[in-house]
Amino acid sequence: MIVIPISAIIMGTLYTFMVTLYMNNLKQVGRMDVVSEVNAGLNQMREVIGTGYGPVMALSDGVTDSSAPPGGWAATNEEPYSTLIMAMPATSTVNALDPNRTIIRLAQNGCDVNTMTGNPPFVYNFVFFVKDEKLYRRTLTDTTPPDICGTAAQVPTCPASPGQTSCPKDRLIAENVSRFEVRYQTPTTGYHPNMLCPVGTEPESTEDYLQACEYPDATADATVLTIVLGITRLVDGADYTYSHRFSIKPLGGDVDD
């Protein structure tokens, strides 16, 4: 009869337990990494969208992009990847949340301090898009702008390419992106199921605005945007997907005034 020492059984059991615990911890850490990446990407978008005028369907007047996809940029709400184009006010600082920033305006009525605030703002675009499962933010400006009052801090960005030094790279927001959805909405009064929605829209709840109406297609009429970001990554030999969203109301305003 073979006798196995009790200590060996205990050590074997303890070893198995420790290995299982270690592997479970690795899995949990991997999943938390994905959650953190989604939230970090959404936070980057929330920060800049909240300071923008709102979504537009195509690039603003005077704004061009030599690296645009065939047919040019157009806002979409397609699955799994949408394209979002934001009209943004050009400012004196890159940081949109800088309390000391000033909005750069066209010199339509001169740049005297008493008349400058009545001038239209100088507008540029942010384009959020997915390529090769990576979510980017491209900055695009009018490359031949009219006279403006001051100096805009924003400069155009380009796709990363070997030897490219004259143009900053597009901002990489997230990798392994499996879902980037933009919902175009407008707030409403009333409560589901008797919501008062504009013709052509459907009732839809959002994260930050309890009741809203959703447009079937991308539209500049939207005053609320709901952004959904999902990332899929291999964790412990299997795909793990995490998605989250936020709803936000941009500053609004008529960019042509």
Q: What is the pTM of this model?
A: 0.83
Place of tokens 């996809």: 69
Which one, of 179, 165, 153, 164, lies nearest residue 243 by Cα? 179
pLDDT tens string 174-185: 999 999 999 999
Place of tokens 């990363």: 160
Q: Is the confidence at residue 254, as pLDDT, over 50?
A: no
**Greatest distance between any 2 Cα atoms in the chain:** 103
- DSSP, collapsed to helix, strand or coil, labels residue 38 as helix
For the chain, the distance separating the N- and C-terminal CA atoms, rounded to the nearest angstrom, is 95
Q: Give percent above pLDDT 70 in the chain.
A: 80
Cα within 13 Å of Cα(160), Cβ side? 9
Q: How far apart are CA 211 and CA 209, in angstroms?
A: 6
pLDDT tens string 16-49: 655 555 555 555 666 888 889 999 999 999 988 9
Which one, of 123, 149, 144, lies nearest residue 53 by Cα? 123
